[in-house]
Chain A
């Protein structure tokens, strides 16, 4: 066992840090630290800055235009980017459909879609959940019928993150209604900019609308948009969810939020004294810092293990979400009653904020409400516990 970072790893961290420091636009950094809403152009702007530097696909192998970084390098990149205040890299292309196409897509699909993901020429969204199929995804009902050289698709998807910006959806559809649940599902790539696709935003607790309902009415996809084999979509879906989970600890996010928490405590005063000197506040900050450090080690241990992260990813998911929620709660506690007045419009960087308290105060409550989603999406924490019991413990 060697618990020190190698010289190469240290040099790599420095390289990332220097690059992000130099290239991350100040307004994006400010947005992250103020918890302002990140807009479509913001995501694209940062992604293209990375792409120009050859870092558009940090988790991909070189043969597909990625950086070829090993898991530890990828983690270092994630942590340093988040700490500096960079927007997250959207996972829909990079971590979801990209890896599926690399493994199961045909050459034409790889040649066409992968480079466009690296440069963010296409905005992808994930067509998985349906109104009656959340945790029980395999019960999905969206139907694709083969008519001549194309599929005609009808159904409804929900919780589709950022679908209102999407050019493409990778969508789970039922191609064989007679088959049992997991069989008879296929993965099809759907052009979102066509008649029959209706996107309706779902307003969430913080007043934002990042997720959507998507209706598909006689939507068409040419047969060549099928990924892999027909009726084998569940295999690809599971493969994709494995990828989604390995990054789901949100360790970079935790590091950034911890820094924000500390700075909030410094800046908030009661009777002229900084809250960072309050014993009760100090205790809670120290404790969450210990937990974030442990989570980082856990992430590193899983990443360094060359075998499939498999069910251990469920531990990361549960713990990562718990810490993200707790960090938001502590920020709310430190901000105190100043975050009680709230208007969703105040969440925009260009908003004319006129509430009481500091301009970052309203975001604390919004973030606390919004972070509850981390225990729900990507398979609820209850589902994750079931996976741990079944696959890690074997009961």
Chain B
């Protein structure tokens, strides 16, 4: 084992850190959040550094990078509190497509994605369900010249601003995955802001007509693909949270060193020093847990892979909560305001537990998957 970054990884993360310092500043982030639409130039900046092509196989113009590099990259993106679709599109959708056997779709979409010319969203959640991946009421029907799609998906991360959606649906009673262009007739997107400064949508399908090539996979293959893609997404989300924790801990230490009460810096009070020490400990354990999942992603045994990912998610979510809540507490009243970036990081860390399966879901999944 070697935990030091390779020269390429170092160069990549250094460039990303410079980009974050340059374009993901607090005012820039806030401005983009307010605009409420995907900032194409920001997405292009990320693509230039290889974020959109990171997991795209080389044959489609990407870098075909390892999970370890993914961890390093998303850790930096988390530090910069990136709200663009770096996980939903560049990790989940790309992993799903890259591992599928639909060559035409891969050629069309992965190549464009690597170039930064396409954004994809994955629509898999439905009302009345929390995180189970099997669709309940979105249905596809086979027709003489393809398929039609009916149904409704909720909490679709970055659906607005995407060029196509990967959608789960029931086809002859089994799960199937389709690629649906965002401009398809009958597709409706209701877009909402989210508390952490990103976007999510409710997506409706009313008699959407699809070509036969739109089918990515069905049955067990579809289920395995989505599970694999979400496992990559969860690991990237954990890396993102660890980066955010690292930045937030640094910012909190800085604040306590400068803010004075009772004639001395707050950092001089032992009760606050211990809280900082606990934050640092949680942050270190969080990143260590994320390494566990990253190792797990290479597992051939899918059940074992998913179990390691679930256990990591539980631990990182707990660490994220502790660090987020502590940073607000240590900032005192200032931590409660919407005027510092500590709040933005706290909210992003809060969503770590809510997205892609919460703690109870992952504890149950780990239990179901056995040892």
- To the question of whether A and B form a pair in one complex, the answer is yes
**Contact surface of A with B, Cβ cutoff 8 Å:** 129, 132-136, 139, 158-159, 202-205, 207, 211, 269-272, 278, 280-281, 325, 332-333, 336-343, 354-357, 365-366, 368-369, 372-373, 375-377, 380-382, 385-386
Q: Within the assembled complex, what's the spacing in Å between the Cα atoms of A132 and B328?
A: 17
Q: List 6 A-B contacts (CB under 8 A).
A: A333-B360, A337-B130, A338-B155, A356-B127, A372-B329, A382-B272
Given A333-B358, A342-B195, is A202 in contact with B339 using a C-beta cutoff of 8 Å? yes
Contacts of A343 in B (CB 8 A): 192-193
Contacts of B260 in A (CB 8 A): 132
Contacts of A135 in B (CB 8 A): 261-262, 332
Q: In the complex the two chains form, is A376's CB within 8 Å of B271's CB?
A: no
Contacts of B350 in A (CB 8 A): 332, 365, 368-369
Contacts of A342 in B (CB 8 A): 192-195
Q: Within the assembled complex, what's the spacing in Å between the Cα atoms of A385 and B329?
A: 14
Q: Within the assembled complex, what's the spacing in Å between the Cα atoms of A136 and B260?
A: 9
Q: How far is the CB of B183 from chain A (nearest CB, A)?
A: 22
**One of B154, B271, B346 near A356 (C-beta < 8 A):** B154
Q: Within the assembled complex, what's the spacing in Å between the Cα atoms of A202 and B272?
A: 25
Contacts of B354 in A (CB 8 A): 332, 336-337, 339-340
Q: In the complex the two chains form, is B262's CB within 8 Å of A136's CB?
A: yes
Q: In the complex the two chains form, is B329's CB within 8 Å of A376's CB?
A: yes
| B69-83 vs A, Cβ < 8 Å mask (1 yes, 0 no) | 000000000000000
Q: Within the assembled complex, what's the spacing in Å between the Cα atoms of A107 and B143?
A: 88
* Chain A residue nearest to B197 in the complex (CB): A342
Q: In the complex the two chains form, is B192's CB within 8 Å of A204's CB?
A: no
Q: In the complex the two chains form, is A205's CB within 8 Å of B193's CB?
A: no
Given A207-B338, A278-B360, is A356 in contact with B202 using a C-beta cutoff of 8 Å? yes
Chain B residues numbered 50-91 whose CB sits less than 8 Å from any CB in chain A: none
Q: In the complex the two chains form, is A382's CB within 8 Å of B271's CB?
A: yes
Task: Provide the main secondary structure of the chain B interface.
Answer: mixed
Q: Within the assembled complex, what's the spacing in Å between the Cα atoms of A129 and B263?
A: 16
Listed residue (B129, B190, B271, B360) with the most chain A CB atoms within 10 angstroms of its CB:
B360
**One of B192, B261, B263, B272 near A134 (C-beta < 8 A):** B261
Q: Within the assembled complex, what's the spacing in Å between the Cα atoms of A368 and B353?
A: 13
Q: In the complex the two chains form, is B336's CB within 8 Å of A269's CB?
A: no
Q: In the complex the two chains form, is A134's CB within 8 Å of B328's CB?
A: no
Given A269-B128, A337-B354, is A372 in contact with B335 using a C-beta cutoff of 8 Å? yes
Listed residue (B155, B190, B195) with the most chain A CB atoms within 10 angstroms of its CB:
B195
Task: Provide the main secondary structure of the chain A interface.
Answer: mixed
Q: In the complex the two chains form, is B355's CB within 8 Å of A380's CB?
A: no
Q: In the complex the two chains form, is B328's CB within 8 Å of A270's CB?
A: no
| B253 interface residue (CB < 8 Å to A) | no
Q: Within the assembled complex, what's the spacing in Å between the Cα atoms of A139 and B272?
A: 20
| B337 interface residue (CB < 8 Å to A) | yes
Additional A-B contact list (14), CB under 8 Å, known A132-B260, A139-B261, A337-B155: A136-B263, A158-B333, A205-B337, A271-B132, A333-B360, A340-B200, A340-B355, A341-B155, A342-B192, A342-B194, A343-B192, A343-B193, A369-B347, A369-B350
Q: How far is the CB of A134 from chain B (nearest CB, A)?
A: 6
Q: In the complex the two chains form, is A205's CB within 8 Å of B343's CB?
A: yes
**One of A136, A158, A365 near B261 (C-beta < 8 A):** A136
Q: Within the assembled complex, what's the spacing in Å between the Cα atoms of A343 and B193?
A: 6
Contacts of A159 in B (CB 8 A): 333
Q: In the complex the two chains form, is B328's CB within 8 Å of A372's CB?
A: yes
Contacts of A369 in B (CB 8 A): 195, 343, 346-347, 350
Q: In the complex the two chains form, is A380's CB within 8 Å of B195's CB?
A: no
Q: In the complex the two chains form, is A365's CB within 8 Å of B195's CB?
A: yes
Contacts of B202 in A (CB 8 A): 356
| B363 interface residue (CB < 8 Å to A) | yes
| B252-281 vs A, Cβ < 8 Å mask (1 yes, 0 no) | 000000001111000001011000000000
Contacts of A365 in B (CB 8 A): 195, 350
Listed residue (A133, A272, A340) with the most chain B CB atoms within 10 angstroms of its CB:
A340
| B2-41 vs A, Cβ < 8 Å mask (1 yes, 0 no) | 0000000000000000000000000000000000000000
| B283 interface residue (CB < 8 Å to A) | no
How many chain B residues sit at the interface, stated as a range, is: 35 or more
Q: In the complex the two chains form, is A356's CB within 8 Å of B333's CB?
A: no
Q: Within the assembled complex, what's the spacing in Å between the Cα atoms of A207 and B195?
A: 9
| B334-371 vs A, Cβ < 8 Å mask (1 yes, 0 no) | 01111100010011001101110011100110000000
Q: Which 3 A-B pairs have the closest CB atoms?
A: A342-B195, A341-B192, A136-B261
Q: Within the assembled complex, what's the spacing in Å between the Cα atoms of A333 and B335?
A: 22
Q: Within the assembled complex, what's the spacing in Å between the Cα atoms of A373 and B329?
A: 8
Q: Within the assembled complex, what's the spacing in Å between the Cα atoms of A342 and B351?
A: 12
Q: How far is the CB of A276 from chain B (nearest CB, A)?
A: 13
* Chain B residue nearest to A329 in the complex (CB): B321
Q: How far is the CB of B279 from chain A (nearest CB, A)?
A: 14
**One of B127, B154, B332 near A380 (C-beta < 8 A):** B332
* Chain B residue nearest to A270 in the complex (CB): B130
Given A336-B130, A340-B195, A375-B329, is A205 in contact with B336 using a C-beta cutoff of 8 Å? yes
Q: How far is the CB of B168 from chain A (nearest CB, A)?
A: 15
Q: In the complex the two chains form, is A205's CB within 8 Å of B325's CB?
A: no
Contacts of A132 in B (CB 8 A): 260
Q: In the complex the two chains form, is A280's CB within 8 Å of B363's CB?
A: yes
**One of A272, A372, A385 near B336 (C-beta < 8 A):** A372
Q: In the complex the two chains form, is B190's CB within 8 Å of A354's CB?
A: yes
Q: In the complex the two chains form, is B333's CB within 8 Å of A376's CB?
A: yes
Contacts of B353 in A (CB 8 A): 333
Q: Within the assembled complex, what's the spacing in Å between the Cα atoms of A136 and B261?
A: 6
Q: Within the assembled complex, what's the spacing in Å between the Cα atoms of A284 and B328?
A: 24
Contacts of A333 in B (CB 8 A): 353, 358-360
Q: How far is the CB of A68 from chain B (nearest CB, A)?
A: 36
* Chain B residue nearest to A204 in the complex (CB): B336
Q: Within the assembled complex, what's the spacing in Å between the Cα atoms of A339 and B130?
A: 12
Q: In the complex the two chains form, is B338's CB within 8 Å of A205's CB?
A: yes
Q: In the complex the two chains form, is B347's CB within 8 Å of A270's CB?
A: no
Chain B residues numbered 178-201 whose CB sits less than 8 Å from any CB in chain A: 190, 192-196, 200
* Chain A residue nearest to B343 in the complex (CB): A205
| B125 interface residue (CB < 8 Å to A) | yes
* Chain B residue nearest to A207 in the complex (CB): B338
Q: In the complex the two chains form, is B195's CB within 8 Å of A376's CB?
A: no
Q: How far is the CB of A212 from chain B (nearest CB, A)?
A: 11
Chain B residues numbered 188-227 whose CB sits less than 8 Å from any CB in chain A: 190, 192-196, 200, 202
Contacts of A368 in B (CB 8 A): 350
Q: How far is the CB of A340 from chain B (nearest CB, A)?
A: 5
Q: How far is the CB of A190 from chain B (nearest CB, A)?
A: 21
Contacts of B325 in A (CB 8 A): 325, 372
Q: How far is the CB of B31 from chain A (nearest CB, A)?
A: 16
